[in-house]
Structure 1
């Protein structure tokens, strides 16, 4: 596999979902035959609400749609003027950033875009049924891949350059004014979510040679922003980032297109110095066969388990489990009688029998 970074860009959003990536940043049943215009518009609004709330900008609720979309679907004629692709990409970036936290166990966002991007870029993960092409490209998924093939390239830098793909792509996607934005380094805005389109770090995805990248833009302070208290303050508070999007045409990268894209020698030297070549610690990278197994570590007999010695600094888990079953309170002073009763029971068990007639001190009783 070639070295380098890869990510989801405007190009992937345009090919996979067929969404416009240019425009303003603000970004149920069947309709009966012979319905009047108002009924058709009502069904269209409901479908668009479902598409926005459950597909492109889905959250973890699963069955709820935010009311923020009502002003947008009320003006159907203006829906095509928004950059839905950049907003969906910003939301996916933010969701992937959140799930990187080890305490987060669920991933939201346009997951069909992420899944289809993996299938197109990593051939080994593709399921059966990828021989047929349809538009948008994300609609081609079918079936499961139970066995991952080890043959062929492990990553494809330019999966959209084949003639089969170009035959089904919508002509508007290939217009120069849209393709120009694929190479644009700008901000991605989705209400309070602001992310950065760092295509300067993935030039091989656009048939370019990757030089040593510039330092990544630190936007950690934007991760804590939400829409509590309303969102009318966002355009003024985030005016600097909105200006980046307004001037996106001025930040288009210029580079040479080559037949064999990949990292440059300077990038490989930079990556060797700053990259993480091994995911495991050095302790686990050695050959385990070079370490002799001691005699006491070998197994003797069928299913033999070595005896376990009690370590002094390790708490007795049996007492902890029994105490959890009985119940505790934050104040251990009131439940000290329970600890003493357990200790007496343990001592009696070690003496070979349990003393009869012994009772622990009652809760709250004073010693005599």
Structure 2
């Protein structure tokens, strides 16, 4: 169950240029490291590199990879008005092919008939020996970033993407937001961390979440929440890669230098996004860079000092951040009085 108020409040704080949420104390974002711990998806490997396919090619692949007959394949691309399959259609096929129907019902029970998936993704399953060689985690993260970028457009009235990932990330990092009821069947040594909390109701309306975020300080944020889970999923240095990530022809910036506190480092003033992700790179160059991710990862010099409490920032960072951003979303008719953030007190003291 998606908490729509929570998602809307975070969408308002998303900045496409930095691929991060701007909060009263600085920036935070969903990182490749978060994806690895929350989903147990591989974050290293090849990008998903595909383009669009025609309806005729989609019909051919539906017949070839799903075992459908030509009439069914034609009917499916006609109903979806493109090279797509409905989840309900895939559900029926798998129910016919697999014996474990009960388990399948549990897995797909929340999917509606109208949701669709692009047929082009079948290409990644033609050789099952190669499936693990793709960076599915980077694809999931790039998809989330892309949809958050779209949601910030003035003419966009809804948000799509991997919202379950975003909501699970909020539950881990922000105390007092969303569900804190743990699933009794959760096993730290086996399950992805995203399965820990039950998705129950949180603060309610978007306004309540906006007010909560405006009053937020670092005492209610957990920058590095996966300590107990490290034995199950080890840290991978590819998380420190800085540059473009992509899936298909969609590319987004991934800039871990803007959220060093999430990696246990003292936050410094980051370099300009264009330095990390040059806008003139083509898709092939982006893929080549990620294949050599460690060559483009943050160096020890860029990572800087280790933080004692994971909340430290270098002198001048807060002033720089407030000069370049507008991290508050104050509502004109707030139902509750928001306390003045500590950062404002710091700025006033230094200006005096």
Match of 1:6 in 2: 28
What's the CA shift string for 1:13-56, capped at 9, x where partnerless? 00111100001112537989xx9xxx66x99xxx8xx99xx99x
Aligned partners of 1:86 and 1:118: how far apart in 2?
19
Classify the secondary structure of the residue corresponding to 1:209: coil
1:202-241 matched pairs, under 5 angstroms: 202-217=259-274, 237-241=282-286
Work out whether 1:245 is the aligned partner of 2:290.
yes
Aligned partners of 2:165 and 2:309: how far apart in 1?
26
Aligned partners of 1:216 and 1:190: how far apart in 2?
20
Classify the secondary structure of the residue corresponding to 1:108: coil
CA contact (8 A) 1:186 1:248 kept: no
Aligned partners of 1:71 and 1:131: how far apart in 2?
36
Aligned partners of 1:147 and 1:238: how far apart in 2?
41
Higher gyration radius (CA):
1
Q: CA RMSD in A?
A: 4.0
What's the CA shift string for 1:312-358, capped at 9, x where partnerless? xxxxxxxxxxxxxxxxxxxxxxxxxxxxxxxxxxxxxxxxxxxxxxx
Match of 1:136 in 2: 192
1:10-159 matched pairs, under 5 angstroms: 10-26=32-48, 28=91, 62-130=114-182, 133-134=186-187, 135-146=191-202, 153-159=219-225
Classify the secondary structure of the residue corresponding to 2:26: coil
Deviation at 1:11, TM superposition (A): 0.6
What's the CA shift string for 1:246-305, capped at 9, x where partnerless? 221112222332322222112123124323265459x999xxxxxxxxxxxxxxxxxxxx
Work out whether 1:181 is the aligned partner of 2:238.
yes
Unaligned stretches of 5+ in structure 1?
Answer: 223-235, 286-368
CA contact (8 A) 1:120 1:126 kept: no
Instruction: Name the CA shift for 1:114/1:284 in 2 (closer, same or farther; >3 Å).
Output: closer
- TM-score in terms of structure 1 length: 0.57
- TM-score in terms of structure 2 length: 0.59
Moved over 6 A (4+): 29-32, 148-152, 218-222
Instruction: Name the CA shift for 1:30/1:259 in 2 (closer, same or farther; >3 Å).
Output: farther
Instruction: Name the CA shift for 1:62/1:186 in 2 (closer, same or farther; >3 Å).
Output: farther
CA contact (8 A) 2:24 2:328 kept: no
Classify the secondary structure of the residue corresponding to 1:65: strand
Deviation at 1:74, TM superposition (A): 2.2
Match of 1:325 in 2: none
What's the CA shift string for 1:219-248, capped at 9, x where partnerless? 7979xxxxxxxxxxxxx9523322321221
Instruction: Name the CA shift for 1:4/1:208 in 2 (closer, same or farther; >3 Å).
Output: same
